[in-house]
Structure 1
Amino acid sequence: MILTDAYDVGANQEAAIMKDNGEFQPAQQYRKEGDDMFRDETARDDQTVWLDAAIDYGHESKQHLNQVLGMISQGLLQDLSKIIHLNGKVEYQLDYYHPQNARYERHRDAFPVSDREDFTQRRVTAIVYLNPDWVQGDGGELRIFGKNDEADQDIAPIASRMVVYLSGVADHAVIATSQDRYALTAWIR
């Protein structure tokens, strides 16, 4: 499934409406059972809202975001399951970075896992960007770190771009942004 320009703009607008309606919360306020009690709560400036594909699919007001969720849950998950041992559980998070230099310091989304039966760790991260008006210089790039702890690549958060990586392997950060930045992230177990 390929996103069209209409869905890029539509998903961005739906996310902006959710922000304006107060649906996002500062990410550091979220706590789940099993969270790291030593987590640095100053490492990130973003706001998030957790999505449930089964529930959100029925919302007419989020039809464009629902298409992105469908692309991940129906298309990407099936394709990845052919090459990686997955249990099919997916967490979805819509993320907003405000334009006053919001960033997220270097981190990983999970611990490295080689046990095929361990489904407690995230295995694959997929990020879909929802920024149709992004231009170079806006910031908000995803920085992937390579060997020797050096930045290996900066990936621009351009609308419809999807980045997929192994959750427990890729150290990454979000560079400070000077424009509103939206992304839908899926963590697949």
Structure 2
Amino acid sequence: MNETLERIVDGLAEQGYAVIDNFLDPAEVKAILGLEAFSDAAASFKKAGIGKNQDLQINEAIRGDYIQWVDRSTAPAPVKVYLDKLQAVIQAVNQGLFLSLKDYEVHLTVYPPGSYYKRHLDQFKKDDHRKLSVICYLNEDWREEHGGQLRMYLPDETRDFLPLAGRLVCFRSDQIEHEVIAGTRERRSLTGWMLDQVAELRHL
């Protein structure tokens, strides 16, 4: 784990993002996918919106995913494994980059086939507490022809990353615009943000 944490810190310092394969091993991914929450996600999850609080809007022309916020106090054991690893990332980033991160928020995410999320920044205009975006993918046997890439718009290039099971992508919420390309399969992930304040109670 120490080497993984060093790679995350180095990637963020050098290029504003890090991509780590096998952050969750195949058994850990399978355990999360086996949770009841994912068995009928499109019916039980909430439609994701744009914006925050009173500014929140549902706009399927911009994003088409469904989400369920994780309550860390009642999180099932397979998800708790991931949350503990996130806490280790926060400690490493604070030591290496002095970001003063204090907390995180995470939701389970499902993109139905054909859904997408257009180019955007993760930091809200009226709320700059999201410092790092963190996504861990849960898609077993995902191939190039399935689509569903995360596309990052970097200063000198555009890079695509497939949503491979166990892959962690971490990047600066305030700097890197990105989008989710439509896929031919349902696309699942743990999506979250590292914050410089304590997470709001509505997410806990």
Q: Which amino acid aligns with 2:123?
A: A
Q: Secondary structure at the match of 1:102?
A: coil
Deviations 1:53-110 (A, max 9, x none): 2331xx3xxx2222112211x21111111123224121111110011x1100000001
Q: Secondary structure at the match of 2:34?
A: helix
Query: Equivalent residue for 2:88?
Result: 75
**Equivalent AA in structure 1 for residue 115 of structure 2:** A
- Quote the Cα distance in structure 1 between the aligned partners of 2:115 and 2:39: 19
Pair 141,85 (structure 1): closer, same or farther in 2 beyond 3 Å: same
Q: 1:180 aligns with which of 183, 186, 191?
A: 186
1:35 equivalent to 2:55? Answer yes
SS of the residue 1:132 aligns to: coil
The code of the aligned residue for 1:131 comes to N
In structure 2, which of residues 27, 32, 39 is the aligned counterpart of residue 17 of structure 1?
A: 39
Contact 1:125 1:186 in 2 (8 A): yes
TM-score of the superposed pair, with normalisation by structure 1 = 0.79
Aligned equivalents of 2:155, 2:51: Cα separation in 1: 31
**1:107 equivalent among 113, 117, 120:** 120
When residues 167 and 34 of structure 1 are mapped into structure 2, their CA distance, relative to the original with a 3 A threshold, is: farther
Match of 2:143? 135
Please report the RMSD computed on the Cα atoms of aligned residues, expressed in angstroms. Answer: 2.6
- TM-score of the two chains, using structure 2 as the length reference: 0.74
Pick one of 68, 78, 100 that aligns with 1:86: 100
Aligned to 1:8: 29
Q: Secondary structure at the match of 1:185?
A: strand
Structure 2 residue corresponding to 1:48, chosen from 67, 88, 105 = 67
Q: Which residue of 2 aligns with 1:155?
A: 161
Whether contact under 8 Å (2:64, 2:117) holds in the other structure is yes
